[in-house]
């Protein structure tokens, strides 16, 4: 099968690489197998890509190790920074192609796809800026010693990314790894292999040396992903995906070489609206908090707590707002919500809607498939009320356009309700009372707290989870410490 194909979209036509990108070359997988990726808005096949198995992972890891040893780890930091800046520029200048790929392969509305691509470029640029600003310390002990620390790269980083923000997650992983002198074996998600491969093409064009970035895809996380996690020569793994697989990765690390592990996992984030909030503004943020990216967000604000004084007004306005979200063709500029990623995710989400009904919750809006069966995995924006904390829809991550609204009376009560989860990724607070906002932000167990907004992310601000939402932080200066190890040097003076 060919290593590239021409793909036509309503926006642009382009040449899509389909092979594995290993050691600076486009190759077929050792097994000779390929698999298809589909467009979730139409259920039609977009392309077939070459599949990586354990043998390919081995080749990619060896290439990454050679590139690490043969110069990348000792390349002048300024040069690494320059490459990342160049890559950021290339990403920006290919915005139409990359956005079209995301809309086609993931079902993301174009508007959202474009914003993902720009955010990816910002992330690469931000870490390009860090490349020559990663310093150790000199530490005074007694005068007969010179002590200093060096922040050295860890080595070969295995990076496993999901399908919900395919290209953005690619950038979140590649940026800090390359800035700090590591090399990368990155596995895209089997549902969305195309943008990561196109990104590899841009790495090549930017002049990233062979072996520094290897992009492999796989039909099965359990094959290529597991091979990365278990590999004896991978020094670190950065994973974004389900909590279930996160556990497997930790286990694989424990059973192999104790590779360093950072995990960005699930969530069941509370979004809290107090009586004194501006209802219209709060409704907008709550709507965005759950329906952005079709609810396929680890930080989705899926548990909505509304104080009793404005509960009725809020529900009325929120129902109207949610029902007005435009669901449909990702290539239509007016679309806000596209399809879910796959039949499997569609079925999982519909299963949760069924369970909510069976456990006695009330469907205020939605609750059904949008459109015809066989023409895309669309689900209506759905709001449940009359929920209790024990219900499955209040405990488990749904990862779709489904939320539940619950009434509360006091600040103390809502902090308790908000923290009643195994997860701790994010939380939202809507209030005009500054002291309350800060008090509640301090009391919530979450890696990110948004006050009077939701889902805002910037490359400068760290992101990651408390509790079972993860280990480590991405973005910001904090991410650098997950890609470096500290060496202490102690010299005895004569
Ligand atoms: P997943 O965790 O199976 O997939 C994420 C990545 O892990 C993919 O690249 C996949 O190929 C890889 N993977 C799968 N099994 C693996 C293994 N044994 N070893 C190494 N890598 C492996 O998630 P899935 O099944 O696509 O979605 C299930 C649920 O996970 C969603 O409903 C959602 O709740 C959650 N999820 C959370 C994400 C987040 O952003 N934190 C992203 C995607 C899913
Ligand atoms: Mg796809």
Return the ligand number nearest the Cα of 293: 1
Indicate whether 236 and 361 sit together in one domain: no
Q: pLDDT confidence of 226, banded at 50, 70, 90?
A: very high
Q: pLDDT confidence of 334, banded at 50, 70, 90?
A: very high
Per-residue pLDDT tens over the stretch 235-256: 999 999 999 999 999 999 999 9
Indicate whether 255 and 397 sit together in one domain: no
- Mean per-residue pLDDT, 434-455: 98
Closest to 161 measured CA to CA, from 114, 199, 132:
199
- Which ligand 1 atom minimizes the distance to the CA of 226? 19
Domain that holds residue 283: 270-458
Check residue 163 and give its pLDDT.
Answer: 98
Residue 43 in contact with residue 375, Cβ under 8 Å?
Answer: yes
Check residue 85 and give its pLDDT.
Answer: 98
Indicate whether 364 and 311 sit together in one domain: yes
Could you tell me the distance, in angstroms and rounded to a whole number, from the CA of residue 484 to the centre of ligand 1?
Answer: 25
Check residue 218 and give its pLDDT.
Answer: 76
Check residue 217 and give its pLDDT.
Answer: 80
Q: Is 494 inside a domain boundary?
A: no
3-state secondary structure 429-440: EECCCHHHHHHH
Could you tell me the distance, in angstroms and rounded to a whole number, from the CA of residue 63 to the centre of ligand 1?
Answer: 26
Terminal-residue alpha carbon distance, the chain:
67
Atom 8 of ligand 1: nearest residue by CA position: 189
Q: Is 392 inside a domain boundary?
A: yes
Instruction: Please report which helix (H) or strand (E) contains residue 278, including its range.
Output: none
Q: CATH number of the domain at 331, please.
A: 3.40.309.10
Indicate whether 99 and 211 sit together in one domain: yes
Q: Which residues are within 8 A (CB) of 205 and not within 5 positions of it... i.e. 6 or more apart?
A: 90
Could you tell me the distance, in angstroms and rounded to a whole number, from the CA of residue 104 to the centre of ligand 2?
Answer: 7
What does the alpha-carbon distance between residue 340 and residue 40 come to, in Å, rounded to a whole number? 7
Closest to 237 measured CA to CA, from 471, 7, 62:
471
Q: Is 464 inside a domain boundary?
A: no
What does the alpha-carbon distance between residue 337 and residue 261 come to, in Å, rounded to a whole number? 33
Structure tokens at 166: 């395919």
Indicate whether 172 and 276 sit together in one domain: no
Q: Which long-range contacts (CB under 8 A, 24 or more apart) does 79-82 make?
A: 80/128, 80/131, 80/132, 80/178, 80/179, 80/181, 81/128, 81/129, 81/130, 81/131, 81/132, 81/179, 82/128
- Which ligand 1 atom minimizes the distance to the CA of 191? 26
- Which ligand 1 atom minimizes the distance to the CA of 187? 9
Indicate whether 379 and 425 sit together in one domain: yes
**Full-model pTM:** 0.98
Per-residue pLDDT tens over the stretch 386-409: 999 999 999 999 999 999 999 999
Indicate whether 378 and 353 sit together in one domain: yes
Indicate whether 13 and 141 sit together in one domain: yes
Q: Is 318 inside a domain boundary?
A: yes
Atom 6 of ligand 1: nearest residue by CA position: 162
Structure tokens at 29: 């997988």
Between 257 and 218, name the one with better pLDDT.
257
- The count of domains in the chain is 2
Indicate whether 280 and 261 sit together in one domain: no
Angle at 455 between CA 452 and CA 460, to 5 degrees: 100
Indicate whether 319 and 246 sit together in one domain: no
Whole-Å CA distances, 362 to 52, 132, 353, 358, 396: 45, 55, 10, 10, 18
Closest to 185 measured CA to CA, from 349, 106, 68, 76:
68
Q: Any idea how long the chain is?
A: 494
Ligand 1 binding site (Cβ under 6 Å of any ligand atom)? 160-162, 164, 187, 189-190, 221-222, 225-226, 229, 240-242, 245, 248-249, 264-266, 298, 348, 397, 399
Check residue 466 and give its pLDDT.
Answer: 98
Indicate whether 156 and 37 sit together in one domain: yes
Q: pLDDT confidence of 343, banded at 50, 70, 90?
A: very high
Q: Give the active site residues.
A: 264
Indicate whether 398 and 477 sit together in one domain: no
Q: CATH number of the domain at 482, please.
A: 3.40.605.10
* 403 Rama class: left (phi>0) / alpha (psi -120 to 50) / beta: beta
Check residue 220 and give its pLDDT.
Answer: 76
Per-residue pLDDT tens over the stretch 151-202: 999 999 999 999 999 999 999 999 999 999 999 999 999 999 999 999 999 9
Q: Is 244 inside a domain boundary?
A: yes
Atom 29 of ligand 1: nearest residue by CA position: 242
Q: Which residues are within 8 A (CB) of 324 and not within 5 positions of it... i.e. 6 or more apart?
A: none
In 4-109, which ranges are continuous DSSP H helix?
A: 54-69, 77-93, 95-106
Atom 25 of ligand 1: nearest residue by CA position: 242
Check residue 219 and give its pLDDT.
Answer: 65
Return the ligand number nearest the Cα of 188: 1
Could you tell me the distance, in angstroms and rounded to a whole number, from the CA of residue 469 to the centre of ligand 2?
Answer: 26
Check residue 348 and give its pLDDT.
Answer: 98
Check residue 196 and give its pLDDT.
Answer: 98
Is the per-residue pLDDT at 98 higher than 70?
yes
Whole-Å CA distances, 227 to 215, 347, 417: 14, 28, 40
Neighbours of 240 (CB within 10 A): 23
Instruction: Please state, rounded to an integer, the average pLDDT across all residues of the chain.
Output: 97
């Amino acid at each position: 099968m060919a290593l590239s194909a021409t793909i036509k979209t309503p926006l642009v036509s382009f040449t899509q690489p389909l092979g594995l990108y290993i050691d600076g070359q486009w190759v077929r997988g050792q097994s000779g197998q390929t698999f298809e990726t589909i467009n979730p808005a139409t259920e039609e096949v977009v392309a077939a890509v070459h599949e990586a198995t354990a043998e390919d992972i081995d080749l990619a890891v060896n290439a990454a190790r050679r590139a690490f040893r043969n110069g990348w780890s000792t390349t002048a930091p300024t040069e690494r920074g320059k490459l990342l800046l160049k890559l950021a520029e290339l990403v920006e200048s290919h915005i139409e192609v990359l956005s079209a790929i995301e809309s086609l392969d993931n079902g993301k509305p174009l508007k959202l796809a474009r914003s993902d691509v720009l955010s990816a470029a910002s992330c690469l640029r931000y870490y390009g800026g860090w490349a020559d600003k990663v310093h150790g310390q000199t530490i005074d002990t007694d005068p007969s010693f010179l002590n200093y620390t060096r922040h050295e790269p860890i080595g070969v980083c295995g990076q496993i990314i999901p399908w919900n923000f395919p290209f953005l997650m690619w950038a979140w992983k590649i940026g800090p790894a390359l800035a700090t002198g590591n090399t990368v074996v990155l596995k895209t998600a089997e549902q969305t292999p195309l943008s990561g491969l196109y990104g590899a093409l841009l790495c090549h064009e930017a002049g990233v040396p062979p072996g520094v970035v290897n992009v492999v895809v796989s039909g099965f996380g359990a094959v290529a992903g597991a091979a990365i996690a278990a590999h004896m020569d991978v020094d670190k793994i950065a994973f974004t995906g389900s909590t279930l697989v996160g556990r497997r990765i930790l286990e694989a690390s424990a059973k192999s070489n104790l590779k360093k592990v950072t995990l960005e996992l699930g969530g069941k984030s509370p979004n809290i609206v107090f009586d004194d909030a501006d209802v219209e503004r709060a409704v907008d943020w709550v709507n965005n908090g759950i329906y952005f990216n079709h609810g396929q967000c680890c930080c989705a604000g899926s548990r909505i707590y509304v104080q009793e004084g404005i509960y009725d007004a809020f529900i009325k306005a929120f129902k109207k707002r949610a029902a007005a979200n435009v669901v449909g063709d990702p290539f239509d500029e007016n679309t806000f919500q596209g399809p879910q990623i796959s039949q499997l995710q569609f079925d999982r989400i519909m299963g949760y809607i069924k369970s909510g009904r069976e456990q006695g919750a009330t469907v205020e809006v939605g609750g059904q498939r949008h459109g015809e069966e066989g023409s895309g995995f669309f689900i209506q924006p759905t709001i449940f009320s009359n929920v209790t904390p024990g219900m499955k829809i209040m405990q488990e991550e749904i990862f779709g356009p489904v939320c539940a609204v619950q009434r509360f009376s006091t600040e103390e009560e809502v902090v308790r309700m908000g923290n009643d989860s195994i997860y701790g990724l994010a939380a939202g607070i809507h209030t005009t009372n500054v002291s309350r906002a800060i008090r509640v932000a301090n009391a919530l167990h979450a890696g990110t707290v948004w006050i009077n907004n939701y889902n805002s992310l910037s490359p400068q601000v760290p992101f990651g989870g408390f509790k079972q939402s993860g280990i480590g932080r991405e973005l910001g200066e904090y991410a650098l410490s997950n890609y470096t190890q500290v060496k202490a040097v102690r010299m005895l003076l004569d």
